[in-house]
Amino acid sequence: MHPACMALKGAGLESRCFPSRAWLIETSRGLHLWDTGYATHFKDAARGIYRLYPLVTPVHLDAQAALVEQLRREGLHGRDLQSIVISHFHADHMAGLKDFPTPRIVCSGEAWDSVQGLSGLRALRRAFLPGLVPADTQSRLQFVESLPQRALPAELSPFALGADLDGSGEVLIVPLPGHAIGHLGAFVRLEQGWLLIASDAAWAKESYEALRGPSELSFLIQHRRSAYYRTLHSLHALHARGIPVMLTHEAPEQAP
């Protein structure tokens, strides 16, 4: 829950629900998770000074809605996943990592480096809760910078290159700078065409449709305003060309 105007300028102070999505992606090579959403580990990690996180952004999680439970109901387990991609290390995107002890963890090296040694208020300012990182993460990491780059089709410009997640060419990861250091999105090729998982590059559809940004206050926790707006303009161009854009926190009635 968060005041509506944090996500969208002029949207008012009323508290609104922002779901925290994750995506299960199936390619011809295997299954991948894009982010993990919240998980029961969040409660344990949000103790002491880290209690400030849920004070500012109250979190409601039904244990049955945790991703690991949703997947179990579909007959899927951590061992069935080839990788978990973490778009960035904000708690609402990686709180479930400890529920999946085996898959490789894909993220940007920049994002990983930016949270090393972070604790206390400095961590909180980056929405990072150190207790959510599994102890063996280092040995399971694969940085997106080390994946092979492929050219993207012209319809996806201004994006030109994407990192191939599993060699299938069906998930091509791109940097979406501005929101957080090393923040990632991905073009996913479906039968009906490409779509972009844009993670937190915007918090509401109206942002990239009408180029209406979030509250200026939000840039206290977002990384870089100038890069954020450059990314927003890129999303705007894709949208104008009919490429679907999917956001982690868009309102449920808006999700494609």
Q: How many of the chain's residues bind Zn ion (CB under 5 A)?
A: 2
With CB atoms as reference, the residue minimizing the distance to Zn ion is 90
Q: Which is nearer to Zn ion, 152 or 227 (CB)?
A: 227
Burial classification of residue 68, based on how many CB atoms lie within 10 Å of its CB (0-12 exposed, 13-18 middle, 19 or more buried): middle
Q: Which is nearer to Zn ion, 170 or 200 (CB)?
A: 200
Q: Which is nearer to Zn ion, 37 or 162 (CB)?
A: 37
Q: Which is nearer to Zn ion, 168 or 254 (CB)?
A: 254
Q: Which is nearer to Zn ion, 4 or 166 (CB)?
A: 4
Amino acid letter, 28 = S
| Region of 84-92, 98-106, 138-146, 156-164 interacting with Zn ion (CB under 5 A) | 84-92
Among 16, 21, 32, 90, binds Zn ion (CB under 5 A): 90
Closest by alpha carbon to 8, among 249, 256, 235, 253?
249
Q: Which of residues 94-133 bind Zn ion (CB under 5 A)?
A: none
30 token code pair = 């295997």
| Region of 41-49, 56-64, 88-96, 159-167 interacting with Zn ion (CB under 5 A) | 88-96
CA distance 130 to 120: 9
Closest CB 56 distance from Zn ion, rounded Å: 13
Residues 6+ apart with CB under 8 A from 98: 39, 41, 132, 134
In Å, how far from its chain's centre is CA 208?
17
Residue 41 touches Zn ion, criterion: CB under 5 A: no
Q: Which is nearer to Zn ion, 26 or 113 (CB)?
A: 113
Closest CB 222 distance from Zn ion, rounded Å: 8
Q: Which of residues 192-221 bind Zn ion (CB under 5 A)?
A: 200
φ, ψ of residue 181 in degrees (nearest 5)? -65, 130
Residues 6+ apart with CB under 8 A from 188: 25, 170, 171, 194, 195, 196, 197
- Site residues (vs Zn ion, CB under 5 A): 90, 200
